[in-house]
Structure 1
Amino acid sequence: MPNNRPYLFYELTNSICSTCYTKIEAKIIIENDCVYMVKRCFKHGMEKVLISNDAAYYKQCREFSKPSEMPLVWNTPVKYGCPYDCGLCPDHEQHSCLTIVEVTDACNLQCPICYAEASPARQTWRSLDEIEYMLDCVVRNEGTPDIVQISGGEPTLHPQFFEILDLAKTKPIRHLMVNTNGIRIAQDREFVRRLSSYLPGFELYLQFDSFEKNTLMELRGADLRDIRKKAIEHLNEFNISTTLVVTLKKGLNDHEVGEIIQYGLKQRAVRGVTFQPIQIAGRLEQFDPVQDRLTLGEVRRMIIDQSGVFNEEDIIPVPCHPDCLAMGYALKMGEQVTPLTGMIDPEILLEGGRNTIVFEQDETLKAKVFQLFSLNHSPASSFSSLKELLCCLPKVMLPKSLGYDHVFRVLIMQFLDPYNFDVRSVKKSCVHIVHPDGRIIPFDTYNMFYRDDKEEQLQEMREQMEIQRG
């Protein structure tokens, strides 16, 4: 009688040891409809990490990969292999859909989960010359960058904040975004009025984790409920395009997914919600890579089960990085909210037991869907792409008053950490950050290897590789 393993071996990749960060081989296995990464370090033993709780969706992601789009230039040579050559090196497989420029390490919060370890104690401000150099490096790589996000720390604290926005607006950037905790937005109406002068092509990425005091205290170290309420009032008043950004921690605020979506749908300025399961980086406390991990598949299921808007077929992988990004669109017309597939005849787009979108029937349709479900969209460009897609389908009747403020997007953005790190996946990363020296580095690897003094430790690993090579 055969002695079968209790799992299905699915594929092989490379990962890193979560203790010493040495690159090691990793098996991807499927067991009880869950996907795990199994890896073994010679020094630190075996690790089994939960990757997905939905094996069918994990497999479906492979069907959504599109040909890689390259940057105009490469910034570093291939010498030690991924992830030790960032970046971007010629072995990377995706240009920058969204590029982050950090302008300060200072913050008016000290969040227990901060990946950047920003705090009021850190008072580093990048000069305008340094910021212009970083912006020019993005333009060097992208020509006309899709989205540039001004971040920190808390960027609104920078003493030259509006000069930074003015500078960014002189560059050929399609869409400018500011990542903020919302404190200044809430406390300074005149500040918000001035922000509105940068419209269109401008958006706020507003931290919005919970409606509950205890949750906010655990994630942010402060009760921000009144701050969030006042910030949204000011943003609604000036109709500044806003994405609510929810950092999700398993068992803490994941029951609020649907409530936050419903809240966003009722706000004039809110164009969508982005859900980010916590990344194990920065000052985050110890965590169990199986029991405590919140996977993209779980978040997707929460959106479907809790929102009352999106169905199974509405949340699909983002083709530029399908392992780590999933997206869904809806149209909000007054009180009526219709998901994307509600606007499209299922016989045209869908088939099969899991309602997989079929692109092969129509290459034009395939291109339009890939264009819409990409990360490099502002609210306005999302509307344009959605309208182009729907216009390809003669059975769809578009409302005459349809505008970009009627498009609502949910996005799941999962970042890799030392536990679930997958070299195959990180090569497709399209969310990048500008190093002060001008390198463009994937966000995942930046927080593990290149932030602050971490590259000193990486250099020691490189030196060991040189010794081993002889």
Structure 2
Amino acid sequence: MPKNRPYLYHELTNSICSTCYRKVEAKIIEENGRIYMQKRCLIHGPEKVLISTDVDYYHRTREFIKPSEMPQIWNTPIKYGCPYDCGLCPDHEQHSCLTLLEITDHCNLQCPICFAESSPHRTSYRSLEQIAFMLDRIVENEGEPDIVQISGGEPTTHPDFFEILDMCKARPIKHIMVNTNGIRIAKDREFVRRMADYMPGFEIYLQFDSMEASVLKELRGADLRSIREQAIAHLNEFNLSTTLVVTLKKGLNDQEIGTIIQYGLEQPAVRGVTIQPIQAAGRLEGYDPSTDRLTVSEVRQMIIDQSGVFNSDDILPVPCHPDSLAMGYALKLDGEVLPLTRMIDPQILLEGDSNTIVFENDPIIRGKLFELLSTGHSPVSSALSLKSLLCCLPLAAVPEHIVYDNVFRVIIMQFLDAYNFDVRSVKKSCVHIAHPDGRIIPFDTYNMFYRDDKEKILEDLKQEITTAWQ
């Protein structure tokens, strides 16, 4: 009688060795109620990486797929294979839902964790000419980019910051975000007032990791509680749309998810919370990937357990990149919080010709919507844009009586690193970074292969591949 293996074998993919970054085969297996990636490097041996703690949710992500949306143009040819041809090369399966535009390496903090390794000691600022070139490449790729996120370093330190915003507004970009640690927002009220003039279609992506001094010192090197408090006060004063961004480290600040979501719900300017488990890339002090990493399924369960708002039907995979993105939506109306995602028939997500979602699934919530909106017609006929609701975009197209101020979303955004890297998955990445030379590169691969001097390591790998072919 043949013996069974102690696991279920699901699929084969390609990954990379976390030590040398050479491409290796990887098996996806189910064992003891969890999903793992097993891979073996010829030089550095085997690795086993936890992918998901929730088998049912993992399988559900495989159901949330939709036709791939391509960019207007491709930037690089296919030569060495993913992830060595970024990008975007014709083998990529998703356009840019969000493109980061990094305008400086300088930062007024030196965080112990930073994927860009920014600091006060890095003092370079991109020129307006460089930035115009990069913006034009983003527009060339996308036609009308959904979101461009101004980032760094700390972008608010750039001496031409408002000229850069004007350059973005002069182009057909639907939504502009500023990725910031909030220090200037806290200290300069007039600066915030000027930014508010760029709404609508403008948002602050505010670093907001914890309410605890010890946690902030470990992640950011400083107790930033008073900075966060004053920044939120200024943002509320001008009702400047804001997303709170939590960089999450297992066992450090993961018990604060519910507290931060509830805090966000109480702030007039906050439109949601984005939770980003640490990516093992860049500067990482005191981080052990064997104990400190978190999966999407773990974070999803924490939201369900801690938030008091969202249940298991509310946090769904995002179809453009379901392995790495999950999202739940709610409406804030007259002091009540009404979860929306549970009212969506998942089949609608997969119907490419469907443009709307009708709120008819839940009679109790439908009644509340009717009462709170007082529209004079049944909310059953109110509909939200499918793409706006269920991609990683801010909600832009809403019923007449529901404005962006009423929206609250929770997003889990995981970036792949050398440990859980999956070529099958990274091809669906829709969060990208504009390279100074005009390439548009997935966030996951940019931080591993294409940032600063890391391209030298990549060139060595390419040379090794070329030699092996000869």
TM-score, normalised relative to structure 2: 0.91
Distance 2:386 2:53 in 1: 25
Q: Could you give the per-residue CA deviations for residues 346-383 of structure 1, whole angstroms, max 9, x where no partner exists?
A: xxx55xxxxxx23399876586485244435234x1x5
Match of 2:348 among 356, 359, 363: 359
Counterpart in the other structure of 1:375: 391
> Which segments of 5 or more consecutive residues in structure 1 lack a partner in the other structure?
351-356, 388-399
* In the alignment, structure 1 residue 468 sits paired with structure 2 residue 457: no
Shift in CA distance, 22/367, structure 1 to aligned 2, threshold 3 Å = farther
Shift of 1:44: 0.1
Which SS does the other structure have where 1:144 is aligned?
Answer: coil
Distance 2:271 2:40 in 1: 43
Shift of 1:291: 3.0
The equivalences for 1:1-150 within 5 A come to 1-150=1-150
* In the alignment, structure 1 residue 323 sits paired with structure 2 residue 306: no
Distance 2:349 2:78 in 1: 35
Alpha carbons 1:296, 1:324 under 8 Å: kept: yes
Alpha carbons 1:433, 1:446 under 8 Å: kept: yes
The equivalences for 1:223-234 within 5 A come to 223-234=223-234
Which SS does the other structure have where 1:185 is aligned?
Answer: helix
Shift in CA distance, 366/30, structure 1 to aligned 2, threshold 3 Å = farther
Counterpart in the other structure of 1:397: none
Alpha carbons 2:388, 2:394 under 8 Å: kept: no
Shift of 1:85: 0.2
Alpha carbons 2:244, 2:273 under 8 Å: kept: yes
Code of the aligned partner of 1:19: T
Alpha carbons 2:111, 2:221 under 8 Å: kept: yes
Distance 2:101 2:349 in 1: 38
Distance 1:226 1:361 in 2: 45
Alpha carbons 1:104, 1:152 under 8 Å: kept: yes
Distance 2:355 2:31 in 1: 33
Shift of 1:89: 0.2
Which SS does the other structure have where 1:39 is aligned?
Answer: strand
Alpha carbons 1:50, 1:290 under 8 Å: kept: no
Shift of 1:51: 0.7
Q: Could you give the per-residue CA deviations for residues 398-426 of structure 1, whole angstroms, max 9, x where no partner exists?
A: xx843221110000000000000000000
* In the alignment, structure 1 residue 178 sits paired with structure 2 residue 167: no
Counterpart in the other structure of 1:411: 411
The equivalences for 1:288-299 within 5 A come to 288-299=288-299
> Which segments of 5 or more consecutive residues in structure 2 lack a partner in the other structure?
358-384
Shift of 1:464: 1.1
Counterpart in the other structure of 2:369: none
Distance 2:391 2:177 in 1: 13
Shift in CA distance, 363/134, structure 1 to aligned 2, threshold 3 Å = closer
* In the alignment, structure 1 residue 279 sits paired with structure 2 residue 279: yes
Q: Mean Cα displacement is larger for which, 264-273 or 328-337?
A: 328-337
Shift in CA distance, 405/457, structure 1 to aligned 2, threshold 3 Å = same
Shift in CA distance, 417/401, structure 1 to aligned 2, threshold 3 Å = same
Shift in CA distance, 188/25, structure 1 to aligned 2, threshold 3 Å = same
Shift of 1:116: 0.6
Distance 1:160 1:403 in 2: 32
Distance 2:177 2:351 in 1: 34
Distance 1:109 1:288 in 2: 22
Alpha carbons 1:201, 1:378 under 8 Å: kept: no
* In the alignment, structure 1 residue 435 sits paired with structure 2 residue 435: yes
Alpha carbons 1:98, 1:375 under 8 Å: kept: no
Identity %: 68
Shift of 1:198: 0.6
* In the alignment, structure 1 residue 253 sits paired with structure 2 residue 253: yes
Which SS does the other structure have where 2:104 is aligned?
Answer: coil
Alpha carbons 1:359, 1:366 under 8 Å: kept: no
Code of the aligned partner of 2:10: Y
Distance 1:31 1:102 in 2: 41
TM-score, normalised relative to structure 1: 0.91
Which SS does the other structure have where 2:85 is aligned?
Answer: coil
Alpha carbons 1:116, 1:447 under 8 Å: kept: yes
Code of the aligned partner of 1:358: Q
Distance 1:51 1:362 in 2: 28
Q: Could you give the per-residue CA deviations for residues 190-227 of structure 1, whole angstroms, max 9, x where no partner exists?
A: 10011111111100000000000000000000000000
Code of the aligned partner of 1:31: E
Shift in CA distance, 20/332, structure 1 to aligned 2, threshold 3 Å = same
Shift of 1:282: 0.6
Which SS does the other structure have where 1:358 is aligned?
Answer: helix
Code of the aligned partner of 1:239: N
Q: Mean Cα displacement is larger for which, 296-305 or 358-367?
A: 358-367
Which SS does the other structure have where 2:196 is aligned?
Answer: helix
Q: Could you give the per-residue CA deviations for residues 310-346 of structure 1, whole angstroms, max 9, x where no partner exists?
A: 010000000000000000000111321010046x3xx
Distance 1:171 1:401 in 2: 29
Distance 1:251 1:4 in 2: 36
Shift in CA distance, 40/309, structure 1 to aligned 2, threshold 3 Å = same
Distance 1:222 1:92 in 2: 39
The equivalences for 1:420-431 within 5 A come to 420-431=420-431
Q: Could you give the per-residue CA deviations for residues 237-293 of structure 1, whole angstroms, max 9, x where no partner exists?
A: 000000000000000000000010000001000000000000000111465444322
Shift of 1:57: 0.4
Distance 2:72 2:123 in 1: 34
